[in-house]
Structure 1
Amino acid sequence: MPNNNNNNNTNTLRILCFGNSLTAGYWHYGLEYHPYAIKLKERLQQSITEEELLPPNTDIVIDVEGLPGDLAVSPPGRFLGRMEGRCISPYPTINILWIGCLCSKTAYDWVIVLGGTNDLAYGTFSPSQIFAALQQAWSTALTSSTSNNRTNVLALTIPECSAISDRLTRRRDELNAKILAHRAERFYTFDLHSALPYHSLSENERERIWDDGLHLTDEGYDLMGELVAGRLVELLKKNKKTTESEDGRKGKKIGDVGRDELNKMAVTCR
């Protein structure tokens, strides 16, 4: 799965964390940013070393594309345009929130998408409208694949917040169910809503993880990174086992076989 760089005999695993304020790591009323990508990269690097999921010389490059307040429904949102800018055409502006190297037309191995939180908050868009907008963004990432790289999408469900509203809960549950039920080649999901609760936590746990009832603290974003990394590691393990089984070369590592072979795994989203 990682891209092989023949110039320095290293592999690169490229990941794009895409979304809004929760992806950007917004906290402390926007005075500080702590993207979950920080812990995600740390955890993945650890897994490479300890579990040998990727060749030991693999570099992990994570770009963070998080725009606070953006809407998935485009227009009026810029969600789809931003995704197209990252995955299709040269991206003209540099986001200050980044890890690694920002590149135009980057061939990503994984695009992790979290969107729809602001659309739900507005209350004017139906779950079906928001889901359709997310599908467009996912499709853009998936179709950005090249002959040398096949992009995978990991879609996250929308987590809870402090607001107590039967209507909001019903609409969020409907949207999350649609996300989890979606099937497409190289498309996977992670139920962040179940993994990162709000209302079931103790008051002390809430204060530690949640910042303002909607955004997380730096510690909360680290937890989010750990959770997302756990799911990604799980998928990398499945890809490795599937590749070894289908290819018949049990001793091969993930970086020793072609990209096309690595992505034959049947879609398992939950």
Structure 2
Amino acid sequence: MSTSNKAKLPVSILCFGNSLTAGYPAGQPYAIRLKDKLEDAFRGHLFSEVEYEVDGLPGDLVTRGQYIERMRGDWKRDFYDWTIVLGGTNDLGWGVKTDDIIAGLEKAWDIPLSKGGKVLALTIPDTKYQGSNLGERRDAVNKAIKEYKKPNFFSFDLNATIPYHNMEPSERPKYWEEDGVHLSAGGYDLMGEKVAEELIRIMRLADAQEHDINSIASDPRQRKAIEDMIFEEERGNPRLLSQGYIVVRKTDLD
């Protein structure tokens, strides 16, 4: 049955991370703007509404804090269609090794992925602090986030989207708190808009792909065969080009 004929259900999103997920100190999580943008784009088409939960613990570390246990706890209580994951700023500040941060993030991502959810991992944003190889270490973690490949895993470069040092100094007060680490209310609104735009892009491609599959294969076994081929194509198998249709790879979304 095509998406257009299915009963429209809410889409559930877990926004997971630390202070930047919580919307600290503005008290305005980016999830608020995210919900508005997604519903404006899709309500009545792909889903009835957006239901979201914000689990952001200021100061938490991916490697030494409650990060992994919080993720496990959230997923024991509920299922989420999407989990948007941000973490690592505090670990970098405490001098944690980049390999340990990456391993911790992968462990967190694998919790929703292992249960059938989709993950959108956000890169660690810039701050005004540049000492102790902080920028190089952040770049190393962010590179690993963007290069990670797994079914149902996507990444979004928040670092490039809301810069600090590459932003005009006159613009910074609109989006950044004076500490140069946390965003202002306007910054969290911008974050919600940009993350929503990426999710909208991914969802539209997935919806178009599903309609393409249904238009050429009504039998469930045929659809399964095509979906298996799509997965192969995501890994670079060119056989799909001979099947009479074109699929955009998840790797091309990065």
Say yes or no: TM over 0.5.
yes
What are the ranges of 5 or more consecutive residues in structure 1 without an aligned counterpart? Answer: 90-103, 146-150, 251-256
1:43 and 2:10 aligned: no
Q: Which structure dedicates a bigger proportion of its chain to helix?
A: 2
Q: How does 1:84-233 map to 2 (within 5 A)?
A: 84-87=72-75, 89=76, 104=77, 106-123=78-95, 125-145=96-116, 151-165=117-131, 167-211=133-177, 212-233=179-200
Matched residues in 2 for 1:143 and 1:208: separation? 39
CA contact under 8 A between 2:61 and 2:90: conserved in structure 1?
yes
| Matched position secondary structure for 2:32 | helix
Partners of 1:23 and 1:65 within 8 A in 2: yes
Aligned partners of 1:233 and 1:245: how far apart in 2? Answer: 18
Write the deviation string for residues 180-237 of structure 1: whole angstroms up to 9, x where unpaired. 0000010000000111101121222101100120000001000000000010000001
CA RMSD across the alignment: 2.2
Name segments (4+ residues, structure 1) moved above 4 Å: none
Question: Given the alignment, which residue of 77, 82, 85 partners 2:70?
Answer: 82
In the other structure, the counterpart of 1:66 is 56
Q: Is the 8 A contact 1:209 1:219 kept in 2?
A: yes
Offset at residue 38 of structure 1 (A): 0.5
Q: Identity across aligned pairs (percent)?
A: 40
Moved more, 129-138 or 161-170: 161-170
Q: Which has the higher contact order (CA 8 A, sep 6+)?
A: 1
Change (3 A) 1:53 1:157: farther
Distance in 1, Cα, partners of 2:169 & 2:214: 51
Pair 1:126–1:53, CA change in 2 (3 A)? farther
Runs of 5+ in structure 2 lacking a partner? Answer: 218-222, 235-249
**Structure whose residues are more often strand by fraction:** 1
| Count of equivalent residues | 222
5 Å matches for 1:219-258? 219-248=186-215
Corresponding residue of 1:101 = none
